[in-house]
Amino acid sequence: YENTNILFLKDDDPTRLRREQIWMAAQKLIWHLNIHPSDWFLSADLIYRYFAKKRYSWDYSQRIVSAMNRYGYLYCRLTASLFSSVVLDDKKKRALIESNARDGRESEPLTTDVLSELQGWIPKEKSSWLWIAFWFGLRPQEVDMLKTRAWHDGMVTWWLEDNEKTLVVYQPKLQMIRPKRRYRRVPILFREQVMALQMIRTGDFERPSDKQVAKWLPLHVSLYGCRHGFACHMDQRGVDI
């Protein structure tokens, strides 16, 4: 397989370097599956979960699958086995992989000082979105879904417990990674969180665009920085992990 797809190219050829990288990633997935190549086409769910957990982009995931299929075809031909190509065509799971890759980018934590400064001069619905994301430590996708009571897979998106002292939020990102632990409970301990809860109830919030994030937030801080900032701020306030 390597002779046919990689080694015939020159050592410094960019195509060879890309193929080597993809092939290394494909080998890790093959070892992770530990399944005969003739049965790979039955293991699409395992492959989706692997890509979601690794936070690979959809394009990179497709390249890995392409390398797997070429290798699997060769392996099964040499061992006189039947081979069916792996096809990843579930649009819902593709969207989750793309969301994981986007939300998982490294980000510095957002600070309360920056968050407070933004409240006065950016559109209200955008500042409300950032406020909710920060004070409940939510992923961008989780904030977006708070406008409705039901997510597209039929799960309830959020509710209140303990006499409105705890916000319970559905985590669609964990659908493929940890199916049995999809809900997160966030205690409502501070005045700012009560304000955020009121914003959720009104539904008057909207995610900032990438251009707005680059303009408004400090360098190296993305929307995921709200979640990181929440963790840092709660730790500084002495909240038990």
**pLDDT at residue 232, as a whole number:** 92
- Beta strands (DSSP E) in 137-235 are 158-161, 166-170, 183-187
Mean pLDDT over residues 188-213, rounded?
93
Burial of 67 (0-12, 13-18, 19+ CB in 10 A): buried
Beta strand residue intervals within 183-228, DSSP E: 183-187
49 pLDDT higher than 70: yes
pLDDT of residue 105: 58
pLDDT at 152: 66
Looking at residue 107, what is its pLDDT?
A: 79
Beta bridge partners of 186: 167
Checking if the pLDDT of 189 tops 60, the result is: yes
For residue 54, the model assigns a pLDDT of 83
H/E stretch holding 228 reads helix 225-236
* Higher per-residue confidence, 122 vs 55: 122
Distance CA 66, CA 68 (A): 5
- Amino acid at the residue 21: Q
Condensed to tens digits (0 to 9), the pLDDT of residues 141-180 reads 899 989 888 876 678 889 999 998 999 999 887 765 555 6
Res 82: pLDDT: 94
For residue 104, pLDDT over 60 is answered with no
Quote the pTM value: 0.62
Q: Is the pLDDT of residue 205 over 70?
A: yes
